[in-house]
């Protein structure tokens, strides 16, 4: 079975280069979601065991979320997420069917030229995290039998 690849920063490297933005901007839209998944324990046991050192460093503030994403080769793939994390990511983070990117643009891009211009900052994370929290709560409510 083919893995579900939610995003790879390398997909966006050319766009980042065209805009003249720092390389980390290719990952910014994904690391907001990755951090939220980590903080809500929606990552897999594989993620926690394989990335134990980087995860521990992140938890104590010795590594950034970009460091975590870099450790995973700047990819977000299904085996990094728990079953529930995958179900939510497939419903919400999927760029073609989900609302994540629409929320990201609405909440954080505002008058910036593109979603790639959004800086990863703590205030931006808190703002986006609240939106993801609401989407997750709605998804959970809709997913119950």
**Domains in the chain, number:** 1
* Predicted local confidence at residue 2, as pLDDT: 82
Are the beta carbons of 31 and 129 closer than 8 angstroms?
no
Can you give the pTM of this predicted structure?
0.94
Q: Tell me whether residue 145 is in a domain.
A: no
Position of tokens 């995973």? 72
Strands 75-77 and 5-8: antiparallel
Residue 17 and residue 105: Cα distance in Å, rounded? Answer: 20
Residue 134 and residue 145: Cα distance in Å, rounded? Answer: 19
> Domain residues for 43?
5-140
Instruction: Encode the chain (145 residues) as per-residue pLDDT tens digits.
Output: 788 999 999 999 999 999 999 999 999 999 999 999 999 999 999 999 999 999 999 999 999 999 999 999 999 999 999 999 999 999 999 888 999 999 999 999 999 999 999 999 999 999 999 999 999 999 999 976 5
Q: Backbone phi, then psi, for 63, in 5-degree steps?
A: -140, 145
Q: Tell me whether residue 98 is in a domain.
A: yes
């Amino acid at each position: 079975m083919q893995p579900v690849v939610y995003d790879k920063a390398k997909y966006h490297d050319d766009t980042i280069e065209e805009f003249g933005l720092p390389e980390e901007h290719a990952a910014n839209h994904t690391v907001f979601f990755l951090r939220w998944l980590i903080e809500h324990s929606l990552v897999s046991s594989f993620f926690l065991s394989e990335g134990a050192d980087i995860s521990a460093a992140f938890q104590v503030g010795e590594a950034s979320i970009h460091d975590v994403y870099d450790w995973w080769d700047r990819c977000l793939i299904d085996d990094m997420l728990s079953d529930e994390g995958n179900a939510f990511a497939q419903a919400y983070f999927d760029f073609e069917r989900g609302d994540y990117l629409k929320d990201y643009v609405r909440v954080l891009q505002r008058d910036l030229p593109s979603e790639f211009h959004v800086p990863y900052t703590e205030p931006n994370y808190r703002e986006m995290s609240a939106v993801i929290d609401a989407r997750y709560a709605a998804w959970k409510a809709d997913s119950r039998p």
